[in-house]
């Protein structure tokens, strides 16, 4: 189905070897039914061609040659600035960074920035020595004081100059995720000054060093919640079990990650962080039971018990609910089959939660391992909000949008 009201993203590509990665960004957001147009600076054209980005975006690529043409309708930079719901500048060079910091405009891209009012996502890329220059850092910090500007990266790694260090442009998937968040929030930073505590992934309860009781949780929903909260200005602590993908790609200094394995380890980590959190979202799939006896050595197959004696593990969510302060918000998850509302509501009340997210795990395209999800959010006051099938990042933002109702 074609989106009747697609979002509009204007991407500015500056001169840098990382420009080739932006082609993947253009392609990805077009496939997500977002309208995308591209401005190539003069130096950007040295790395990729207008034909390349025009083909990927299905729109003509704009260059300074277009900017200086006689005006037949309205000025191009005005039209583009008013058209965009979001601007992205990637790679952002030291030169363009300096211009933006001081409000200078000498080409189509910088003039369009000054003629627009939408949020702007910046993805810097440059040599480590250039990035670490006092003047560059001053410009960077000055620019980020403007609420219009949002950042992704830079990361650290092997650079085109064969140097290993900070200055590597964020990977395309990171940029696409940041774009998706900003299109949802329109740049809103409603969680600045808030500490958000999130649990994610599944726990493992070991019988011996190689065998365990576990579940199919991948942690994708918890990572999406962390991404959404970070994009809205929160400081995030992510206590996570085994994940399907690493979290280094989140690349945000406002993120603290605490890896755990068992339910007991998760409980200890969460209790140590809970008292200072404003919002806690319990997304992890925590074991309900564990083997009552643990063998420090691998049990031979012939020694495995015919029936496994089990012991309960502490109910982490209920424990947090019992010590929650009035200013704190505690949100739980209920992965259910069949009727999802009745058991979720019972859990909401019994565990003293402010809200619970009930989601089906017996539907295709929802629940464990999926990139998409659907749910019903239920508050302790009885409010309900249905979240139609969507990406887990979008669902994370819907959950955060629900917080003011609690």
Which residues are marked as active site? 161
Residue 234 phi/psi, 5° resolution? -75, 160
On whether 300 is known to bind a ligand per the annotation, the reply is no
Provide φ and ψ at 24, rounded to 5°. Answer: -65, -35
Buried b / exposed e along 82-98 (16+ C-beta atoms within 10 A):
eebbbbbbbbbbbebbb
- How many CA atoms lie within 13 Å of 360's alpha carbon, on the beta-carbon side? 15
SS3 (DSSP) at 165: strand
The string over 108-118, giving b where at least 16 C-beta atoms fall within 10 Å of a residue's C-beta and e elsewhere, is bbbbbbebbeb
CB neighbours of 250 closer than 8 A, spacing ≥ 6? 174, 223, 226, 227, 230
For 80, 221, 274, 331, the CA distances from 320, given in Å and listed in that order, are 50, 20, 8, 10
**Whether the Cβ atoms of residue 344 and residue 317 lie closer than 8 Å to each other:** no
Please, are residues 287 and 277 in contact by the beta-carbon 8 Å criterion? Answer: no
Q: Is 166 exposed, middle or buried (0-12, 13-18, 19+ CB in 10 A)?
A: middle
- Is 368 annotated to bind a ligand? Reply is no
298 is in an annotated binding site: yes
Phi-psi region of 381 (alpha: psi -120 to 50; beta: other; left: phi over 0): alpha
Known binding residue 351? Answer is yes
Three-state SS at 234 = coil
347 is in an annotated binding site: yes
Is position 324 annotated in a ligand binding site? no
Please tell me the distance from the alpha carbon of residue 137 to that of residue 318, in angstroms, as a whole number.
46
Instruction: Tell me whether residue 7 is annotated as binding.
Output: no
Half-sphere exposure of 73 (CA within 13 A, CB side): 6
Asked whether 238 and 200 are in contact (CB, 8 A), the reply is yes
Binding site, by residue number, is 288, 298, 314-317, 333, 347, 351
Binding site for CTP, by residue number, is 288, 298, 314-317, 333, 347, 351
């Amino acid at each position: 189905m074609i989106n009747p009201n697609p979002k509009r993203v204007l991407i500015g590509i500056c001169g840098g070897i990382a420009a080739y990665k932006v082609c993947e960004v253009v392609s990805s957001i077009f496939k997500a039914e977002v309208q995308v147009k591209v401005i190539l600076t003069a130096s950007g054209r040295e790395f990729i061609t207008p034909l390349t980005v025009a083909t990927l975006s299905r729109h003509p690529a704009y260059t300074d040659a277009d900017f200086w043409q006689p005006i037949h309708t309205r000025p191009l930079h005005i039209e583009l600035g008013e058209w965009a719901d979001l601007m992205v500048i990637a790679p952002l060079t030291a030169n363009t960074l300096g211009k933006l910091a001081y409000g200078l405009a000498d080409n189509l891209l910088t003039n369009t920035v000054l003629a627009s009012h939408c949020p702007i996502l910046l993805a810097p890329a440059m040599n480590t020595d250039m990035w670490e220059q006092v003047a560059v850092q001053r410009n960077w910090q000055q620019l980020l004081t403007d609420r219009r500007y949002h950042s992704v990266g830079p990361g650290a790694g092997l650079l085109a100059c064969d140097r290993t260090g900070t200055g590597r442009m964020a990977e395309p998937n990171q940029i696409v995720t940041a774009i998706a968040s900003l299109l949802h929030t329109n740049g809103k930073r409603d969680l600045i000054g808030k500490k958000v505590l999130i649990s994610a992934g599944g726990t493992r309860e070991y019988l011996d060093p190689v065998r365990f009781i576990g579940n199919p949780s991948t942690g994708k929903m918890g990572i999406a919640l962390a991404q959404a909260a970070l994009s809205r200005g929160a400081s995030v602590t992510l206590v996570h079990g085994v994940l399907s993908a690493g979290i280094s790609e989140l690349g945000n200094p406002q993120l603290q990650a605490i890896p755990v394995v068992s339910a007991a380890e998760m409980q200890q980590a969460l209790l140590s962080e809970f008292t200072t959190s404003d919002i806690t979202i319990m997304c992890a799939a925590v074991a309900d039971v564990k083997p009552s006896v643990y063998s420090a050595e691998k049990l031979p197959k012939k020694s495995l018990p015919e029936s496994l004696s089990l012991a309960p593990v502490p109910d982490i969510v209920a424990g947090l609910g019992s010590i929650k302060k009035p200013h704190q918000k505690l949100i739980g998850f209920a992965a259910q089959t069949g009727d999802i509302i009745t058991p979720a509501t019972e859990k909401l009340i019994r565990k003293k939660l402010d809200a619970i997210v009930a989601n089906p795990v017996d539907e295709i395209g929802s629940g464990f391992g999926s990139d998409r999800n659907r749910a019903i959010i239920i508050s302790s006051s009885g409010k309900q909000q249905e979240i139609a099938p969507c990406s887990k990042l979008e669902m994370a933002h819907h959950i955060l949008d629900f917080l003011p109702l609690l």
